[in-house]
């Protein structure tokens, strides 16, 4: 498995540090069964970029079942900043070289990997070997093989695994799931999801570097479209066909700019997918036999908005999706409640991603999928 060093990815690519075999069984018992007297589980964020700073850390300040206990960063200035801002003790601060010693720290129950996509597998596996439960930011990895490696490592270590699919804990998402399940408008016949934004500024950002991202719009916003088409039908697709185009090839030199795909679901249900790094798109539309439901905006941090064909507004009080997501996983660990975004869901989505890229490579060819109920969470 090729690895890329987090310390130097902003300046140049270099070989990642080998860490997947450093820790043996240290802390496995603790990682699998946190001390029962704990009322909140401690989370360590690995990677202190904009998502950690702008969404995850603030969400943890209001969480009921978990809290920000530690950080992992390769930037000394960020160590001091975060320690002061969030009252994090020095003993809970790690870098990418001493990360494996987190196994000895009882304050850390969960490691949340928030690194460039190509580094997810390495640090998820190292976290599992350190006996810590794992949240892996989406997409789970850059290949199905890496997803399998993460799942196997967590199973072998006896720790829990979740993917950072914040929308799975969002009330708007769950209202669409309810309409699909209870069928007040009949069965779903068509679903469409659009997810994208206009990428501006630095053309050297890691998301436009295939070695770090594993892909472009599809590996970023496109995962949301895949997710919402699936929960918008309650089923996994049985085939996919896809096309790619670019209107700014001088900017999107290394990754896909815009992708469209057609998804076939069981019983003749059809779906469309659109994702782009060069267009703002943020919508889910579900057409039933006797009506429709729409979320617009759908994938952003909120507040979201929705409506149905009978004139009803879909509306819930705004909450941090990240807070809800991390609380749900903490409850899963402590109380045995549902894991709304298990590793198998992340692997399923990567199977679909690989099929989309294959279809594009083969001129839009229909690619059959044999997913069954893989990754579908039944409550």
Q: Give pLDDT tens digits for 9-57.
A: 433 333 333 333 333 333 333 334 444 457 999 999 999 999 999 999 9
Number of domains in the chain: 2
Looking at the structure, do residues 114 and 235 belong to the same domain, yes or no?
Answer: no
Cα dist from 136 to 25, 119, 243, 322, 349, whole Å? 21, 10, 28, 13, 14
Q: Using one digit for the tens of pLDDT, what is the confidence trace for 120-139?
A: 999 999 999 999 999 999 99
- Residue 37 has a pLDDT of 59
Looking at the structure, do residues 290 and 232 belong to the same domain, yes or no?
Answer: yes
Indicate which residues carry an active-site annotation: 138, 224
The residue out of 148, 164, 180 marking a domain boundary is: 164
| Cα–Cα nearest to 102, from 119, 125, 124, 127 | 127
What is d(CA 34, CA 376) in angstroms, rounded to the nearest whole number?
A: 27
* CATH code of the domain in which 107 resides: 3.40.50.720
What is the span of the domain harbouring residue 102? 28-164
Q: Is the pTM of this model over 0.85?
A: yes
Looking at the structure, do residues 185 and 307 belong to the same domain, yes or no?
Answer: yes
The residue out of 164, 191, 220 marking a domain boundary is: 164
183 falls within a domain: yes
Looking at the structure, do residues 77 and 157 belong to the same domain, yes or no?
Answer: yes
In this prediction, residue 200 has a pLDDT band, given cuts at 50, 70 and 90, of confident
Looking at the structure, do residues 112 and 154 belong to the same domain, yes or no?
Answer: yes
């Amino acid at each position: 498995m090729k690895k890329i060093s987090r310390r130097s990815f902003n300046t140049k690519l270099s070989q990642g540090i080998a860490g997947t075999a450093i820790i043996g069984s240290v802390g496995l018992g603790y990682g699998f069964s946190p001390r029962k007297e704990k009322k909140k589980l401690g989370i360590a964020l690995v990677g202190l970029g904009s998502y950690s700073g702008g969404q995850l850390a603030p969400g943890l300040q209001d969480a009921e079942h978990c809290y920000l206990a530690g950080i992992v960063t390769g930037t000394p200035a960020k160590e001091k900043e975060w320690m002061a801002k969030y009252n994090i003790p020095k003993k809970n601060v790690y870098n990418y070289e001493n990360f494996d010693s987190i196994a000895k720290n009882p304050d850390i129950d969960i490691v949340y990997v928030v690194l460039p996509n190509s580094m997810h597998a390495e640090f998820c596996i190292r976290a599992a070997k350190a006996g810590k439960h794992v949240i892996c930011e989406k997409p789970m990895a850059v290949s199905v093989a890496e997803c399998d490696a993460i799942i196997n490592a967590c199973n072998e270590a006896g720790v829990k695994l979740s993917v950072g699919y914040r929308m799975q804990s969002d009330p708007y998402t769950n209202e669409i799931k309810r309409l699909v399940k209870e069928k007040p408008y009949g069965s779903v016949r068509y679903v469409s999801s659009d997810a994208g934004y206009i990428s501006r500024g630095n053309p050297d950002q890691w998301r436009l570097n295939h070695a770090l991202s594993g892909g472009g719009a599809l590996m970023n916003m496109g995962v949301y479209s895949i997710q919402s088409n699936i929960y918008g039908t309650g089923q996994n697709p049985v085939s996919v066909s896809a096309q790619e185009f670019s209107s700014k090839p001088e900017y999107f030199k290394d990754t896909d700019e815009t992708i469209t795909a057609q998804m076939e679901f069981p019983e003749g249900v059809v779906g469309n997918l659109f994702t782009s790094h060069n267009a703002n798109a943020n919508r889910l539309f579900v057409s039933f036999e006797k009506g429709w439901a729409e979320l617009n905006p759908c994938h952003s941090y909120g507040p979201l908005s929705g409506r149905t064909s009978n004139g009803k507004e879909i509306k819930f009080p705004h909450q941090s999706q990240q807070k809800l997501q991390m609380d749900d996983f903490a409850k899963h660990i402590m109380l045995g409640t549902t894991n709304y975004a298990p590793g198998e869901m992340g692997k399923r989505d990567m199977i679909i991603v690989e099929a989309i890229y294959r279809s594009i490579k083969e001129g839009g060819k229909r690619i059959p999928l044999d997913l069954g109920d893989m990754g579908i969470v039944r409550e």
